Structure 1
Amino acid sequence: MPLSDRSLALFDTPAPEFGQPLPQKPSADMLEALFFRRSASAPTLRAPGPSPEEMDLLIRLGLRVPDHGKIGPWRLVRFTPQSKTALVEKLKPLAVSQPEPAKALAALQKLAIPPEALLVVSSPLQPHKIPLWEQQLSAAAVCQTLLIAAGALGYGANWITDWYSYDAVAKALLGLAEHENVAGFIYLGTPSEAPLERDRPNFNERISYWTAGD
């Protein structure tokens, strides 16, 4: 779906300056997008994927997340089609050593098929006055914001962690330091089929009201 002229203008919009007022504006389009938000199955993601300019915009939007202490406890890794293919080939021998080799090899298709991918790395500062959990939550917020932004650009996206996110050798291949973890791979492309709605948590079962008690 083509972007509006207003959306396209974001590609050339400079980032807001520090201290600049940022009035909050109501957006029915945003509410509708969130209401119908649905991850697309990674193997259904085909070309075209986001252009280099769209990838730049996605990252700019993805980094505008809550970040207690303004410490940026995350980083992103980009892949070219060639480097993503090379990573898959390097991971194949490691898949054989997993508890379920066939399943581990099949999981690599989620990495191989989508035309574009971003790796969000949780890179917390430790020791630090900001609790580790809050820093990890900020990295998760980057992943979720990337999903929403990709949908706003008209693409399908999936946030995945698989065995290669936790295997020590695989993490070393990805260039992660000892204190770092994979917050998520974000796979991007055009869905070859529309994702179907899934079961959702029951609203009333998940909500309670706090009371002061007696």
Structure 2
Amino acid sequence: MPDALALLKTRRSVKPDQLQGPPPSAADLDTMLTIAARVPDHGKLVPWRFIVFEGDHREEAGAAIASAYAAKYPDASGDQIYFETNRLARAPLVVGVVSSPVESAKIPAVEQQLSAAAAAQNLLLAAHALGYAACWLTEWYAYDAQVARAFGLDDHEKFIGFVHIGRFDGTPEDRPRPKLADIVTRFEA
């Protein structure tokens, strides 16, 4: 296993259509999800959950996405509907990360949503640590009410995003990163 700093410095996103199989084993997926759940969670509310899309169920989920797309865009072409049907089939495995806030007088919903986002980030890091490549996407369907219902979300739940996981042969290109001088200030009273 790579050391922690090397792991953090080398994590990159890989586009879903560049991810190959085989998908993570059941044991690797359990490890990833266990690590994803080890996030700051003020009040121990567990305000997130995961939906795993694997095998042929990716295409079944894609049919729900395509149905929502067709409802939004009745003039959509066959090619567009085909593309939407395959949204979750681009990668060998996809995990939907769901923000599921819990009613709390002490912990605001936004803090709980940030905990869910941390779970998505931990999932990316766990996949990388196990030798997989991944990409966190929030495309239009992450915000669509019809898709949310089709995937079993309750009214108070929202997708944080979809983490696409597979294998990548090569080294992903890095993108430009901000200079610390541009993003760091020091408070002085």
TM-score w.r.t. length of structure 1: 0.80
Residues 101 and 195 of structure 1: CA distance in aligned 2, closer, same or farther (over 3 Å): farther
Match of residue 4 from structure 2:
30
Q: What secondary structure, in the 3-state scheme, does the structure 1 residue paired with 2:56 have?
A: helix
Structure of greater Rg: 1
Which of these residues, 141, 144, 147, is aligned with residue 170 of structure 1? 147
Which of these residues, 127, 134, 140, is aligned with residue 117 of structure 2? 140
Q: Residue deviations 1:152-209, cap 9 Å, x none?
A: 0000001111111111111100100110000111111012553211121221110000
CA contact (8 A) 2:65 2:84 kept: no
Question: In angstroms, what is the RMSD of aligned CA positions?
Answer: 2.1
Q: Given the alignment of the two structures, is residue 67 of structure 1 paired with residue 41 of structure 2, yes or no?
A: yes
Moved more, 50-59 or 99-108: 99-108
Q: Residue deviations 1:10-45, cap 9 Å, x none?
A: xxxxxxxxxxxxxxxxxx711011112111111111
Match of residue 205 from structure 1:
182
Which of these residues, 61, 65, 74, is aligned with residue 91 of structure 1? 65
Moved more, 161-170 or 188-197: 188-197
Task: Count matched residues.
Answer: 186
Q: What secondary structure, in the 3-state scheme, does the structure 1 residue paired with 2:106 have?
A: coil
1:55 aligned partner, one-letter code? L
Q: Structure 2: state its 5+ residue gaps.
A: none
Q: Given the alignment of the two structures, is residue 181 of structure 1 paired with residue 158 of structure 2, yes or no?
A: yes
TM-score w.r.t. length of structure 2: 0.90
Percent identity reads 38
Which of these residues, 129, 137, 145, is aligned with residue 106 of structure 2? 129
Stretches (4+) displaced over 6 A: none
Deviation at 1:109, TM superposition (A): 4.0
Q: Structure 1: state its 5+ residue gaps.
A: 5-27
